[in-house]
Amino acid sequence: MATTPACALVIFGASGDLAQRKLVPGIYGLAKEKLLSEQFMLVGFARHEMTDEQYRDECKAAIEKHARLKPIDAEVLNWLLQRTYYVTAADYGDDQSHKRLQDRLTELDAVHGTGGNRLFYLSTPPAQFEPIIDCLGQHGACSYEKAVRRLLVEKPFGTDLTSARELNAIAHRYFDESQIFRIDHFLGKETVQNLMVMRFANAIFEPIWNYKYIDHVQITVAESLGVGTRGGYYDKSGALRDMVQNHIFQLMALVAMEPPVALDAQSIRDEKVKVYRSIRAMRPVHVDQQTVRGQYTGGVIGTVTTAGYLKEKDVAANSRTETFTAIKLFIDNWRWSGMPFFLRTGKCLSEKVSEVVVRFRSPPLTLFQKQCESPVYPNDLIIRVQPDEGISWRLNGKMPGGSMNIRSVALDFSYKSTFHAEAPEAYERLIADAMTGDQTLFIRADEVEAAWAVIDPIEIAWAASKRGPEPYAPGTWGPESAQKLIELDGRRWHGNGEEPEPIIACSL
Ligand SMILES: NC(=O)c1ccc[n+]([C@@H]2O[C@H](COP(=O)([O-])OP(=O)(O)OC[C@H]3O[C@@H](n4cnc5c(N)ncnc54)[C@H](OP(=O)(O)O)[C@@H]3O)[C@@H](O)[C@H]2O)c1
C-alpha cells in the first residue's frame, strides 16, 4: 500500500467498542507500517466527557490490548498519540458540538498540515447516522474546494430496501457518491481479495467456473459464540440482516460475478450489482422451501455454558429473531443457470469458520466406485476466509499398495506459511483506502439497495409465517432442517463430519 495523503480522520462514536477494538489499533498498525502521512491526525468525537489526555490514555490502552503488531513500538505509539485529539459532544445531532468540532479541526489543520482533508468515520449506532450527516452538511463540512472530504459509514446500511434508500438519499443530500465509503470489513480481508486473483489471474479456473462443471457453491460464516453484550442490537437485526445481506452476499458476488473489464472500482462494482440483480426473487412459497431459520437454546459449547438466546441480555423473552439461517438461492444468468448456492450463518455453532466451498461435479463415469472400499468424493475448492486464511484443493489420489483404494488429498495454501506473515487487519486496508479515495472495496449505493431487494421478501415472509425459528442446541450446525435443506437435494454441507479429513498432500 502507498502512504496515505494528508488527512484528519474523525471518528464519531470514538468511545465505542469498534473504535477501541479495531479502528484505533488499525490506525496504529498503519502508522507502524509507515503508511500514514506525516500530515495525519486523529480526532475522536463522542458523548463521554474526556480531555485529549484522557482519550490518548484510552487509545494507548486499546492499542496495547488489540494491536496486531506486537510488541508495541513506543516511538510509533507516541507519534500517533501526539496527533490524537478528542471533542466531547452533547449529542451527535447537537449543533453547538458540531460547531466546536469544526472549529477544532480548522485550528488543528494548521498545526498538522492536514490541508483541510477530512475523512468522517461514522462508528455509532445507525440511528445516529442521519443527525451526524445533517450536522456535517449544515456546517459546510462535506465539501471544500481546496480539500478532500469523505464519509465512511459502518454497517448496517439500512435494515431493508426502504431504509437503505432513505439513508442513501440523506447521504446524497450533502455528499457525492464518489465521497461515500460504505464499509463491509469482509472486503478488506486478504482471502476475499484473493478470490478475484484466483479467478482472474489463473487461466485454469475460468473454463470450468460455471454450472456445467460446478455442482453447487456453499458459503458458511459460522460463529461459536452467542450474542454476548450485543443482544439489544441483534434482536432487532437477526442473522439474515446481520450477516447474509452484507458479508455472505459480498462473498457470493465475488464468486459469481463476470470478469470485470478493468480492476477499478466502477468496473468491479458494476459486475457485483449484476449478480444481485440476477438472483431469483423468492415468493412466500419459495421462502418456505428454500430458507431455514433457527434460534439457539441453552446448552454447552466446549467449556462455555449458555442459557439460550431468549435469556440473553436485552433480548425479548418471546423473541422470534433468528440466530441461524440457511438459504438456497439461484442466480439466473448464463453462467449459473439452475445451479444452487447454499448460504448459512449462525451463532453458537460448532466452530468459528468463514469459508466458500466450490463443489465440482463428479466425473461422468464412476469408474472407481466398485473397486474402492470408501466412497469417491467430489473435488472441492475451499476458500478459507477465517481462521487461517488460505485456499485448499481437495482431489482424489490412489493410496499406495496393490489395491485400487482412493483417498481424498488436499493441496493447501495458507497465507501464514506461504508468505510468513499474518494477513493485515481488514480495517487497516479499508481505512487507508478511504483516505486515499479508492472505493474498490466499498459498497456502492445501488449495490446495497440491490442486496436489500433480495432480502426483503424473505423477511416479509418470515414475519407473516405462524412458525417461528426452529430451536437448535449450541455446539451443533444449526437446526435439523438446515441439514435437510441440502440433503434433500442429494448434497451435503462441507465439514459436517461425514467426509474423512483429507491427507495434506502438498502444503504451500
Ligand atoms: N463492534 C463491532 O464489532 C462491530 C462490527 C461491525 C460493525 N459495527 C458497527 O459499527 C458501529 C459502532 O459499533 P460499536 O459496537 O462500537 O457501537 P457502540 O459501542 O454500541 O457505540 C459506539 C458509541 O456510540 C455511542 N452510543 C451508543 N449508544 C448510543 C445511543 N443509543 N445513542 C447515542 N449514542 C450512542 C457511545 O458513545 P458515547 O456515549 O460516548 O457517545 C458508544 O461508545 C455500529 O454501526 C455497528 O453496527 C460494529
Q: Which CATH number covers residue 492?
A: 3.30.360.10
- 145 and 253 in a single domain? The answer is no
- Domain end: 95, 130, 154, which one? 154
Q: What is the per-residue pLDDT for 316?
A: 97
The answer to whether residue 435 is domain-embedded is no
- C-alpha 122 to ligand 1 mean position (Å): 9
Provide the percentage of residues in the chain whose pLDDT is more than 70. Answer: 98
Q: What is the per-residue pLDDT for 506?
A: 57
- C-alpha 38 to ligand 1 mean position (Å): 29
The answer to whether residue 430 is domain-embedded is no
Q: Report which protein residue has its CA nearest ligand 1's atom 2.
A: 18
- 295 and 399 in a single domain? The answer is yes
Bridge partners of 445? none
The answer to whether residue 162 is domain-embedded is no
Integer angstrom CA distances of residue 202 from 196, 199, 235: 10, 6, 43
Residue 360: its H or E element: strand 353-360
Q: What is the per-residue pLDDT for 505?
A: 60
- 284 and 197 in a single domain? The answer is yes
- Domain end: 101, 133, 154, which one? 154
- C-alpha 75 to ligand 1 mean position (Å): 30
Q: How far apart are CA 445 and CA 191, in angstroms?
A: 24
Query: Residue 84 sits in which domain range?
Result: 7-154
Q: Is the sign of the CA dihedral 450, 456, 457, 458 positive or negative? A: positive
Place of cell 431468549: 310
Q: What is the per-residue pLDDT for 502?
A: 72
Assign residue 114 a region: left if phi > 0, alpha if psi is -120 to 50, beta otherwise?
Answer: alpha
The answer to whether residue 269 is domain-embedded is yes
- 117 and 229 in a single domain? The answer is no
Q: How far apart are CA 67 and CA 30, in angstroms?
A: 11
Is 236's C-beta closer than 6 angstroms to any atom of ligand 1? no
**DSSP state letter for 72:** -
CB 250 within 8 A of CB 498: no
Q: What is the per-residue pLDDT for 402?
A: 81
Q: How far apart are CA 414 and CA 435, in angstroms?
A: 30
Is 159's C-beta closer than 6 angstroms to any atom of ligand 1? no
> Using one digit for the tens of pLDDT, what is the confidence trace for 358-368?
999 988 877 77
Q: What is the per-residue pLDDT for 424?
A: 80
Is 131's C-beta closer than 6 angstroms to any atom of ligand 1? no
CB 372 within 8 A of CB 287: no
- Which atom of ligand 1 has the smallest separation from the CA of 48? 40
CB atoms within 10 A of CB 22: 19
- Which atom of ligand 1 has the smallest separation from the CA of 233? 47
- 340 and 233 in a single domain? The answer is yes
- C-alpha 13 to ligand 1 mean position (Å): 6
Q: Report which protein residue has its CA nearest ligand 1's atom 22.
A: 16
- C-alpha 210 to ligand 1 mean position (Å): 41
Q: Report which protein residue has its CA nearest ligand 1's atom 6.
A: 155
- 220 and 126 in a single domain? The answer is no
Q: How far apart are CA 56 and CA 60, in angstroms?
A: 6
Catalytic residues: 247
> Using one digit for the tens of pLDDT, what is the confidence trace for 14-28?
999 999 999 999 999
Q: What is the per-residue pLDDT for 405?
A: 82
CB atoms within 10 A of CB 34: 8
CATH value at residue 99 = 3.40.50.720
**DSSP state letter for 396:** E
- 210 and 271 in a single domain? The answer is yes
Q: Report which protein residue has its CA nearest ligand 1's atom 7.
A: 155
- Domain end: 109, 137, 154, which one? 154
Integer angstrom CA distances of residue 308 from 203, 405, 500: 48, 45, 32
Pocket test of ligand 1: the residue of 18, 101, 314 to mutate, having most ligand atoms within 8 Å of its CB, is: 18
| End-to-end Cα spacing for the chain | 25
In this structure, the chain runs to a length of 508
- The mean pLDDT value for 263-287 works out to 96
Pocket test of ligand 1: the residue of 10, 17, 45, 58 to mutate, having most ligand atoms within 8 Å of its CB, is: 17
Integer angstrom CA distances of residue 104 from 10, 101, 107: 11, 5, 5
- 15 and 79 in a single domain? The answer is yes
The answer to whether residue 439 is domain-embedded is no
The answer to whether residue 385 is domain-embedded is yes
- 240 and 150 in a single domain? The answer is no
Pairing between β-strand 324-330 and β-strand 180-182 as defined by DSSP bridges: unpaired
- 83 and 197 in a single domain? The answer is no
Alpha helices, H only, 321-470: 415-419, 426-436, 445-464
The answer to whether residue 163 is domain-embedded is no
- 149 and 192 in a single domain? The answer is no
For the ranges 171-175, 221-225, 332-336, 424-428, the lowest mean pLDDT is seen at: 424-428
Is 193's C-beta closer than 6 angstroms to any atom of ligand 1? no
- Which atom of ligand 1 has the smallest separation from the CA of 16? 43
List all residues 6 or more positions away from 50 whose beta carbon is below 8 Å from its beta carbon.
15, 44, 58, 86, 88
The answer to whether residue 160 is domain-embedded is no
- 249 and 118 in a single domain? The answer is no
pLDDT band at residue 404 under the 50/70/90 scheme: confident
Averaged confidence pLDDT in the chain: 94
Minimal CA–CA distance to 288: which of 492, 485, 488? Answer: 485
- As for how many domains the chain has, the answer is 2
Is residue 255 scored above 70 in pLDDT? yes
Place of cell 505509539: 77
What is the pTM assigned to this prediction?
Answer: 0.94
